[in-house]
Each structure stands twice: as C-alpha cells, then as structure tokens.
Amino acid sequence: NDSGAVVGVEGVKITKDGKNETISLTSPNVVLATGGFASDRSTGSYLDQYRPELMRMPATAGEFSTGDGVTLGLSAGAGTVDMDKVQVHPTGWVDPKDPSNPGKILAGELMRGVGGILLNHDGKRFCNELGTRAYVVDKMFGHDPQYAETKTWNVDTEIPTFSLVLSASAAEGAQKHVDHYLNKGLLTRIEGLEALAEWMKLPAHAVKASLQEYQRDAKKGKDVWGKETFNGVPQEDLSSEVFYAGTVTPVLHYCMGGLTIDKDGSVLDENKEIIPGLHAAGEVSGGVHGDNRLGGNSLLECTVFGTIVGKKIPIKPQHAIQSNSLRQQGGGATDKPVELRSISSDELKQHNAEDDCWVVIHGLVYDLTDFVDEHPAGPESITELAGQDGTEEFQAVHGENILEDFDPIGKFVPV
C-alpha cells in the first residue's frame, strides 16, 4: 500500500479452457516459502546473473525452483544477500534411461557413509568419500585440467560422471534407500568383480587393483586422502562379492542466497528495514547458512523459521474442522467414519494418468491427482505408480504417518 506495507497478493488463475482469471487476495501478512532458484537456467535468471558457470549443471531442485519468491520480494522492495552462494552436491544419480535430464535425484551422504566408494573412469578412487560436499566436488572437478589449474568451472566443459559402488555389507546399512534406488533403476545389483568391471566398461584388473588397495587401506586404518573410517569394505574374495553400483554426477543442490530476513523471519528492504506484512521461510531467504550450508540444515531451516513466522502471525481459530471422511450426507460431522467402498484392480487401472491418478498404499486407494504437481520429489515418482499398488515404493522412503493429511477414497480389493 502507500505506506510500503504488503497487504495481500494478486495473481492469475489459469484454467484449462484458457479463460484465465485475475484474482486479488488481501491479507495483513504474506509468507514467501517458494524455495530457491537452481532450476531456472533461462537467460537473465538469477543463476545466469550470479553463477553463470553453473548454468549447464543439473539440479536436485524441482522445476518449481525458479526464484519466483525472490522476484516477488524484490517487487516489494526487498533486499537480497549471498545470491552467488550456490551449493554443488557431489552425488546426484544419473538415470541410465534419461541421462541428460537436468533434474536429478539426490544420492545422499548415507550412500557413502555406509561404505560406498567413488571411482573415476579409470576405475580409481580420488578422494576421501566422507569429506565435505565442497571437498568431494572439488576433487571431482579436479579431473578437468582447466579447473585443476584455475579452480573455476568452465560452463562449456562436460559435467563429469563417476561410479558409486557399494558392497553387500554396505548396502545392508542403507537397505531401504538401496531398495528404493534399485526400484527406480538408479542402482544395479552386480554379482562379482568381473561383472562390475564389465558394467564400468573397464578391464577387470584395473577395478580389482583399486578395490584391493582399499581393502589394504582399511586394514591400516587410513588412506592417502586421510580417510580413517572404513564401513562396508568389500569381502576378500571379490569374485563372490555382490556389488550395488550407479552413476553419479555433481548437482546444484541448494541456494544459500535469497531475500534478506531478520531473526524473526521478517523480510528486510535494502536498508535493512522491516517491510511490514512480508515474511519468508526456507530457501527463498538468504544469509542463514553462510558460504556453504551443512547437510541436513535445509529442513531444519524450514522448520525453525516456519515455526517462528507461524507463531508470530495471528491466525483466526477455526471452530469446525472436519475430515472429508467424517462428513455425513447432510454435511455435518459425525463420530463414526463412513465406510469406504471397495475398489477392484480393473477400476484402479483405469485411473493411470497424471490428470487422473489413483494409487494403492497399504491396502487403501488414494486419489493423488491434485497432489502430483505439489510432490516435493517431482510428479514422476507418483505418476509412474498411477493405477497400481505403490506400497513398496512408498515404504522405501516414507513413514505411514505422512498419509494422515490424505483421505482414502476406497479400500483395494485385488480381484
């Protein structure tokens, strides 16, 4: 308004029939929680402006990560901070079915923590796999002579890839994750050294030499890169070892920069003054993590600042909250849930598209059509299970309590 306070939002409601509608919502408080900008590689994007050398690098962020919240904040006079601080994570999975896709699924530190080792295209280790993200990325980029000399990545250089290899004992330490990655085709189960070398397209003696050196280092308790913790070391008889291997590549993972905020999550203008009515939480804000955030701290940031902002904004109490499953035909609430109808396999299979997406989880059928585009891991994880039983895939990454916000539409009767 005229006094510089944010008093609502204006937007456009986009309809499938093309009859778009301009809408205006007034509110004494607006919270921006739109994420970062790592997925916008268009000319003039924030990535292009502040880190142009990273423009061709894939990202783990969803397609929504285009800096829209930063742009909205700037339009209200907000300041920004640390916009050039973009975290590169060393291990994003390369999907063999779609290797050039700019969107990658993260191969978290757990894969290396349980004993996964990184091998280059010569079949050699090149770093302490348990080092910081920045350290491992530096060792990866160091395979390029220009980077090794200048420590600056060239946007025209091909992004390197590496093999992440786990022994059977290492895989047991992250079984749920391994099963999930196997199901998605990102990890491959390989029996024996010869087959592993064939998968890597390398001579068996080269891979064997690296693994045997790793075994010797584990016995000594230290390698040339300073690694002193050796979990999941391959067994002595490499010919009978079962390996789990996948291809990984460095990926854009987090934007430390964003809108300037204070300790209460209020957005600040360029003079560090509070913009009344405007708040921010999560990756859309900047200055919280410094040059490079620690692993695990992004969700913590969302929780902390989301809680702070949520507590300080007065919310009108709702006196009549009820679940869809607790509605009577007349619209009133009841203590007894309505009985779910039975849904057969044939009926389930008919709802197998992005705009008509039913999935079975723990014997109950959920209509996830409206949630597909909101899924933090991307729509594909849901749409590929449309019209099917997705219990196994769900269990690999989620606890059952996450379904508390969703009402089933029926119970699955596989006939």
Amino acid identity at 40: D
Long-range contacts of 150-156 (CB under 8 A, 24+ apart): 152/53, 153/53, 153/54, 154/53, 155/52, 155/53, 155/54, 155/55, 155/56, 156/56
DSSP H or E segment with residue 247: strand 242-255
* Other CB atoms within 10 A of residue 167 CB: 23
Backbone angles phi, psi at 358, to 5 degrees: -105, 140
Question: Do the Cβ atoms of 86 and 257 come closer than 8 Å?
Answer: yes
In 281-406, which ranges are E strands? 285-286, 342-344, 352-353, 356-361, 364-367, 388-389
Is 199 within 8 Å of 81 (Cβ atoms)? no
DSSP for residue 371:
G
Q: Which residues pair with 22 in a beta bridge?
A: 12
Respond yes or no: is residue 341 known to be catalytic: no
Q: Considering the candidates 41, 51, 56, 112, report the single residue annotated as catalytic.
A: 112
N-terminal to C-terminal alpha carbon distance within the chain: 60
Sheet holding 285-286, edge to edge: 80-81, 258-260, 285-286
Residue of 41, 51, 56, 89 marked active site: 89
What DSSP assignment string belongs to 328-340?
-TTS-B-SSPPPP
What's the pLDDT tens digit per position in 173-216?
999 999 999 999 999 999 999 999 999 999 999 999 999 999 99
Residue 89 CB coordination number (10 Å): 24
Residue 112 falls in the annotated catalytic set = yes
Residue in the structure block whose two tokens are 């585009």: 373
Q: What is the pTM of this model?
A: 0.78
Angle at 391 between CA 387 and CA 397, to 5 degrees: 120
Q: Are 253 and 88 in contact (CB under 8 A)?
A: yes
- Token match 């975290």: residue? 87
What residue ranges in 64-175 does DSSP mark as E strands? 80-81, 86-93, 105-106, 117-119, 162-166
pLDDT per residue as tens, the chain (415 positions): 888 899 999 999 888 888 888 999 999 999 999 999 999 999 999 999 999 999 999 999 888 899 999 999 999 999 999 999 999 999 999 999 999 999 999 999 999 999 999 999 999 999 999 999 999 999 999 999 999 999 999 999 999 999 999 999 999 999 999 999 999 999 999 999 999 999 999 999 999 999 999 999 999 999 999 999 999 999 999 999 999 999 999 999 999 999 999 999 999 999 999 999 999 999 999 999 999 888 889 999 999 999 999 999 987 765 544 444 444 444 444 455 568 999 999 999 999 999 999 999 999 999 999 898 888 777 888 999 999 999 988 888 888 788 888 899 999 998 7
